[in-house]
Amino acid sequence: MSSSRPARVPPTSVPPRTPRPWPAPIAASPRIAALRPEDVEEFWADVTREGAPLVEKDGDGTLLTFLWRDRGPTNDVLVLVNKLADRNRLDLSRMSRLPGTDLWHLTYRVRNDWQGSYQLAPDEEPAPPAERDAAHWRRVATNLTADPLNPETLPQSRPPHRSVAAAPGAAAGPRWWQPRHGTPAGTVDVVELPRRVWRYTPPGYRPAAGPYPLLVLLDGDVWGPLLPVAPILDNLIAAGRIPPLVALLPHSVDRPTRFTEYACRPDFISFLADELIPRSGLSVTADPASTVVAGQSLGGLTAAFAGLTRPDRFGNVLSQSGAFWWQSNSPDDVDAEWFARQVAVTERRAVRWHVEVGLDEWVNLRPNRHLRDVLTARGYRLTYAEFAGGHDRLCWRDRFGDALAGLFV
């Protein structure tokens, strides 16, 4: 593709700023309710040993209580949990202070398999209650930090990192993303084709033994160095869940470029199919049935568009939280969910699909369900899943391995 970069983000690629249509699941923690001011020091000692957030069973659900210890002149604290917080109503993410103590807290009731990432935002500038308007809360939300009481974090491209919260059932499945001692490791290198691309080759890779099945995974700047996909592929190959394959992870360049190219652009799909793969220098299959294109959010939309428009190259689509709310900028496109309409009016392709979305994604949940129904009506091979979580790299990382393996069954 051309090396010129867009100057701005196309407005049609920005998700609708729809307020949360149902109340956040705010609850009360029995442990906090029973806490007396004189017991708070002992409580903090327990938190130091156990970590945060607090986890309490509540019938068929779980109570997660997020905590902040006031070690300075804190006036307010927000806890911004992925898709439990609503940026249209940040005041609803305000923690409460236990009177007479240094303990701030906010509790959510979630499913037993829920997981999500979060950050905290302490406010140390005094503001009278009358001035705590939307602008005030937006200012507070810029003062982000990881949870100092929680050692588990999800790396970000630049600090602050996000902290990890999970109900007990979220740990039930295999963590394919964790490197395993003794598991043979593939090789990752970086090439310029001309954009930066991370290349994964499996353990024992020999070009003469190919051609190899192929994974094209978008947002290589995330899945290459930040949340490495390589251990996922190593573990799946070692477990016999997928065949030895090669993977190409193209860089998304920058935000304006990503939001432009990941908007159902035929020229970008041609770049993937006709430039990136042939110039990769790897021994890769030409069989679309052995090729997976995968992405998340706008990347999920783009992967789906690749499968629909170039089934000769991409025979398997893996979409996590695909942005199927997307509206084209055509004057004839007056409604959102453009992609589902294209599926409905396009001759069925020889493409297999995996589509999944988080139950907390209020902007994205209905469009993904709509696409599921259209794909089913058109007779496509489809696996579809909804998970307890939000629009969250944490969820995508944990679920990617099983989703990929399912396409090779």
Considering the domain architecture, whether residues 146 and 289 belong to the same structural domain is answered as: no
Considering the domain architecture, whether residues 29 and 57 belong to the same structural domain is answered as: yes
Considering the domain architecture, whether residues 261 and 392 belong to the same structural domain is answered as: yes
Residue-wise over 30-69: b if at least 16 C-beta within 10 A, else e?
ebbeebeeeebeebbeebeeeebbbbbebeebbbbbbbbb
Whether 334 has a pLDDT exceeding 60, the answer reads no
**The last residue of a domain, from among 118, 135, 168:** 168
Considering the domain architecture, whether residues 269 and 151 belong to the same structural domain is answered as: no
Short-list 366, 273, 345, CA closest to 313: 273
pLDDT in tens, 161-186: 999 999 999 987 889 999 999 999 99
Considering the domain architecture, whether residues 241 and 276 belong to the same structural domain is answered as: yes
Considering the domain architecture, whether residues 228 and 145 belong to the same structural domain is answered as: no
Distance, CA of 202 to CA of 22 (rounded, Å): 45
Whether 3 has a pLDDT exceeding 60, the answer reads no
| 1 in any annotated domain | no
Domain count, the chain: 2
Helix (H, G, I), strand (E, B) or coil at 122: strand
Whether 331 has a pLDDT exceeding 60, the answer reads no
Mean pLDDT over the full length of the chain = 94
pLDDT at 222: 98
| 56 in any annotated domain | yes
Helix (H, G, I), strand (E, B) or coil at 124: coil
Helix (H, G, I), strand (E, B) or coil at 246: strand
Average pLDDT over residues 260-281: 97
CATH number for 355:
3.40.50.1820
pLDDT in tens, 118-168: 999 998 776 777 777 888 888 888 999 999 999 999 999 999 999 999 999
Domain span at residue 160 reads: 15-168
**The last residue of a domain, from among 168, 196, 230:** 168
Distance, CA of 10 to CA of 27 (rounded, Å): 39
Considering the domain architecture, whether residues 305 and 402 belong to the same structural domain is answered as: yes
Q: What is the identity of the amino acid at 163? A: S
Average pLDDT over residues 299-324: 98
| 181 in any annotated domain | no
Helix (H, G, I), strand (E, B) or coil at 180: coil
| 179 in any annotated domain | no
Other Cβ atoms within 10 Å of 228 Cβ, number:
20
Considering the domain architecture, whether residues 379 and 237 belong to the same structural domain is answered as: yes
Distance, CA of 396 to CA of 387 (rounded, Å): 10
Whether 332 has a pLDDT exceeding 60, the answer reads no
Tokens (6 digits) for 370: 């709509």
| 205 in any annotated domain | yes
CATH number for 98:
2.60.40.10
| 6 in any annotated domain | no
| 301 in any annotated domain | yes
Considering the domain architecture, whether residues 322 and 389 belong to the same structural domain is answered as: yes
Distance, CA of 361 to CA of 240 (rounded, Å): 33
Residue-wise over 127-138: b if at least 16 C-beta within 10 A, else e?
eeeeebeeebbe
Whether 330 has a pLDDT exceeding 70, the answer reads no
pLDDT at 63: 98
Considering the domain architecture, whether residues 211 and 127 belong to the same structural domain is answered as: no
Considering the domain architecture, whether residues 149 and 233 belong to the same structural domain is answered as: no
Average pLDDT over residues 397-407: 98
**What pTM was estimated for this model as a whole?**
0.95
Average pLDDT over residues 98-110: 96
Looking at per-residue confidence, does 128 or 305 come out higher? 305
pLDDT at 11: 87
pLDDT in tens, 31-66: 999 999 999 999 999 999 999 999 999 999 999 999
pLDDT at 328: 80
| 281 in any annotated domain | yes
pLDDT in tens, 75-98: 899 999 999 999 999 999 999 999
**The last residue of a domain, from among 119, 135, 168:** 168
Considering the domain architecture, whether residues 325 and 191 belong to the same structural domain is answered as: yes
